[in-house]
Amino acid sequence: SQQGEEDPQALSIQEGENATMNCSYKTSINNLQWYRQNSGRGLVHLILIRSNEREKHSGRLRVTLDTSKKSSSLLITASRAADTASYFCATDGNQFYFGTGTSLTVIP
């Protein structure tokens, strides 16, 4: 499979805590992207990190990329109940391939 894998599969935290999700992938990439999916909805783009970047920030999101290890992490700081969703990494090589997702639950 071309898919990456997210770790952990499920994560439950208290509101205000930080949430970290990891993604490992198999192929060479042009960039790696993170998406969010609320229950029953389509995916929404969160952030893109290019293969020559190591870290990127956007609001409460921090993404790192290690191309030598073929891995990325997404950190959500000061989590809110509204952050409850599934989060997916997607590799952009010749096509977009998605990981299996992390289900995040933020408890108010």
Partner 1 sequence: NAGVTQTPKFQVLKTGQSMTLQCAQDMNHEYMSWYRQDPGMGLRLIHYSVGAGITDQGEVPNGYNVSRSTTEDFPLRLLSAAPSQTSVYFCASSPRTSFVSPPKTGELFFGEGSRLTVL
Interaction of residue 59 with partner 1, rule CB under 8 A: no
CA distances to 26, 57, 75, 79, 92 from 60, rounded to whole Å, are: 28, 8, 8, 8, 23
Q: 2 with 97: CB under 8 angstroms?
A: yes
> Which of 17, 30, 58, 80 touches partner 1 (CB under 8 A)?
30
Q: Which is nearer to partner 1, 42 or 108 (CB)?
A: 42
Interaction of residue 23 with partner 1, rule CB under 8 A: no
Interaction of residue 43 with partner 1, rule CB under 8 A: yes
Q: 69 with 13: CB under 8 angstroms?
A: no
DSSP state at residue 30: S
Q: Which residues bind partner 1 (CB under 8 A)?
A: 1-3, 30-31, 33, 35, 40-45, 48, 50, 88, 90, 92, 95-101
